[in-house]
Amino acid sequence: MTITCFGEVLLRMSPPDRRLLVQAEGFDLAVGGAEANVGSALASLGHTVRFAGVVSDNPLGDRALAALRGCGIDTRFVARAPGRMGLYFLEAGSGPRPSAITYDRAGSAFANADPAAIDFAGALSGARLLHCGGITPALGLKGAALAKAAHSAARAAGVPICFDGNYRAQLWDAWDSDPRTILRDLVADATILIGNHRDIALLLGRDFSGDGEARRREAAEAAFAEFPNLELIASTARHLVTSDHHRISARVDSRAGGYQTEEINVTGIIDRIGTGDAFAAGVLDGWLAAGDLALMAQRGLALAALKHTIPGDMCLVSRAMLDSFSAGAGDVRR
């Protein structure tokens, strides 16, 4: 089965040794972006993955495509265009200091792209699923048009959509945006939503009572009532102890009910970026296997936990590594 991912491929620049940007004398470069991260994780698990998007027609675009191809992703439907690659700068946190991101994405080749430049029909031909998300429309009116074009092509092809809310306040606040209206229109097309009660509160313009599992179920039921196409909602709950120690659980809801995992400790964190994308990939891996809610939640949590141990944006975990995952296991496998 083929999964098509659509979004912007980014270059990540990070000062080494957890330095601040004001201390930086050089940067480590990694290739990522939310949808590319999901695609790379699914490809690493053995799925057939295509990517649709636009990258710069220059050596930085070449570097981005090389990274996708290195993961086994089909890049035939990534268009090339003049312009710049989108960047972001990561200051990795430590102890009580959280990580911080500075975006440099305005005017990128992707953000300025015309939907007609992307062969959505070809990218979706024979696909089992389209994965995309809320970062593309956050880039501006052109980004919103790109996202809607991808959804329209998927609906025309009869391909289900997985939409990851991925709300990025810095991007939405940079222009005269209306995130609720834009995101509601996109979520209405989706079969699977990756998002928690806060994402649903934004979509519906209301808060939810209670706490923990009850609040998440209340939010899920409200979303199912509002969006008839939705079949699944998946999310994580994260409690931060320090930058290097988090407690995480995972939940998947259907219209009939929900399943939530026990909370696990994730310690010795190397890189938090991309962990939500790894969770989404694990959930989709379970969904593609026609698994139940428990399997989807457990695979999502396992892949998210493993990503915390891997530097860079992408979660390049093999099927064998996922299958052998055990929270707290750290011994050498011989």
The pLDDT tens digits for 204-220 are 999 998 778 999 999 99
**pLDDT tens digit sequence for 238-249:** 998 888 899 999
For tokens 């939010």, name the residue. 219
Tell me the C-alpha distance between 128 and 147, whole Å. 18
Q: Which CATH number fits domain 2-323: 1.10.3720.10, 3.80.30.20, 3.40.1190.20, 3.40.50.300?
A: 3.40.1190.20
Tokens 């093999």, residue? Answer: 318
pLDDT (0 to 100) of residue 161? 98
- The closest alpha carbon to 180, from 203, 196, 199, 201, belongs to 203
- Binned at pLDDT 50, 70 and 90, residue 327 comes out as low
**Residue 68 pLDDT > 70, yes or no?**
yes
Cα(184)–Cα(193) distance, integer angstroms: 12
Q: Compute the Cα dihedral for 105, 108, 114, 117 and give only its sign.
A: negative
Mean pLDDT estimate for the chain: 94
Rounded to an integer, what distance in angstroms lies between the CA atom of residue 72 and that of residue 83? 26
Element (H, E) at 191: none
CA dihedral of residues 146, 151, 152, 158 (deg, nearest 10)? 150
Q: What is the pLDDT of residues 278-312, one digit of tens each?
A: 999 999 999 999 999 999 999 999 999 999 999 99
Lowest-confidence range among 28-42, 69-83, 239-253, 301-315? 239-253
Domain boundaries, the chain: 2-323
Helices (H), 12-52: 34-44
Q: What pTM, to 2 d.p., does this model score?
A: 0.95
Q: Give the pLDDT confidence of 139-167 residue by residue, as tens digits.
A: 999 999 999 999 999 999 999 999 999 99
pLDDT of 332 above 60: no
